Amino acid sequence: MKTAIQHTLRAVLAGLAIAAGRGAPAAAQSVASNTHPPYTPADAQFMTGMIGHHAQAVLIAGWAPTHGASPSILLLCERIVAGQGDEIDLMKRWLSDFGEPVPEGKAHYMSGMDMGDMDHGGMPGMLSQAQLEQLDAARGPEFDRLFLTFMIQHHKGAIVMVDKLFGTQGAGEEERSFRFASDVYADQTTEIDRMQKMLAALPPSGSGQ
């Protein structure tokens, strides 16, 4: 008897948590800790979405060594893999601490996959299947050029996500959420600037693909 009720309760609670993570109205539940500003569903959505966003960055930056990237691109990619990888862990911790479901944090990609409806129009700036395949096929200076172009697009998407967070009622006030979103903004705008300069400094591409 007791067990059945416990199961039911657990399921109900799990359902609530999932509902909260999937865009319950902003005016609905928020969870306060002590007297500190509560987090909102928008914060949880931001974290969840950004995990997927970062996972793609880690994937494509991880291609640099096998795709003939130049030394400075290799170094940049190493920093992105390390930095965004650690940030995925931070976001997972945040979600777990607040009892929210924790995504896996790994990008799944196979050349030739038919993504259908799930093609990553998902989060702003994310690469589509076609773009992923184009990048995966590139080597050497062509990889450099495409990587920088696509990662700039990717980073700009992250900025859009941060702006959206801060534009949402009550969101971005919980301490860790504010701190992390602000850091993403500062770091990625800096990297956009750096990548644009690297792109401008590349040898011009040849006759095109």
Partner 1 sequence: MAPATVLRGRAFVLGLLALAACSKSTSPGGSGMSSVAPKPDPRVGLKAGMWDAGQASWNLRMVSTTPPSEKFAGVTNSDISFLRNYAIQGNYNGFQVWDISNPAKPTLTLGFLCPASQSDVSVYKNLLFVSGEGNSGRVDCGGQGVGDTVSADRLRGIRIFDATDIANPKYIANVQTCRGSHTHTVVEDPRDKENVYIYVSGSAGVRSPNELPGCSRLAPDKDPNSSLFRIEVIKVPLANPAEAKIVTSPRIFQDLTAPPEHGENPVDVAESKKAAAEARAKGGYTAEIQGQEYVLPPQMIDPMLDSIAKSHGGTKPNGADSAALRTALPAMIQARFGAPPAPGAVRPGPTQCHDITVYPAIALAGGACGGYGLLLDIKDTPNPKRIGAVADSNFSYWHSATFNNDGTKILFSDEWGGGGQPKCRTIDKPEWGADAIFTLVDGKMVFQSYYKMPAPQTKFENCVAHNGSLIPIPGRDVMVQAWYQGGISVFDWTDPKKPTEIAFYDRGPVDSTKMGNGGSWSVYWYNGYMISSEISRGLDIFELTPSAWISQNEIDAAKSVHLDYFNAQDQPKITWAPSYALSGAYLDQLARSGGLSSSRVADAQKALADSKLMVGGAQKNALLSLSKSLEADASGAKDPAKVKTLANSLKDLAAQN
User: For residue 69, which of 144, 132, 136 has the smallest C-alpha distance?
Assistant: 144
Residue 105, amino acid? G
Among 71, 81, 112, 126, binds partner 1 (CB under 8 A): 71
Could you tell me how many residues make up the chain? 209
Asked if 17 contacts 54 with a C-beta cutoff of 8 angstroms, the reply is: no
Angle formed at CA 44 by CA 49 and CA 23, multiple of 5 degrees: 85
Asked if 80 contacts 58 with a C-beta cutoff of 8 angstroms, the reply is: yes
Among 9, 22, 72, 104, binds partner 1 (CB under 8 A): 72
Binding mask 145-164 for partner 1 (x = CB under 8 A): -----------x-----xx-
176-192 burial code (b ≥16 CB/10 A, e <16)? bbbebbeebbebbeebb
The interface region with partner 1, picked from 13-21, 49-57, 76-84, 104-112 by CB under 8 A, is: 76-84
Among 87, 95, 132, 161, binds partner 1 (CB under 8 A): 87
Angle between helices 2-21 and 41-61 (to 10 degrees): 70
Ramachandran class of 100: left when φ > 0, alpha when ψ lies in -120 to 50, beta otherwise = beta
For the bound state, the minimum distance from the C-beta of residue 178 to partner 1, rounded and expressed in Å, comes to 5
The interface region with partner 1, picked from 101-109, 111-119, 122-130, 175-183 by CB under 8 A, is: 175-183
Among 29, 90, 102, 119, binds partner 1 (CB under 8 A): 90
Nearer to partner 1, 60 or 109 (CB): 60
Binding mask 5-44 for partner 1 (x = CB under 8 A): -----------------------------xxxxx------
**168 near partner 1, judged by CB under 8 A:** yes
Count CA atoms closer than 13 A to 45's CA, side-chain side: 20
Q: Which residues bind partner 1 (CB under 8 A)?
A: 34-38, 70-72, 75-76, 78-79, 82-83, 86-87, 90, 93, 140-142, 156, 162-163, 166-170, 172-176, 178-183, 185-187, 189-194, 196-197, 199-201, 203-208
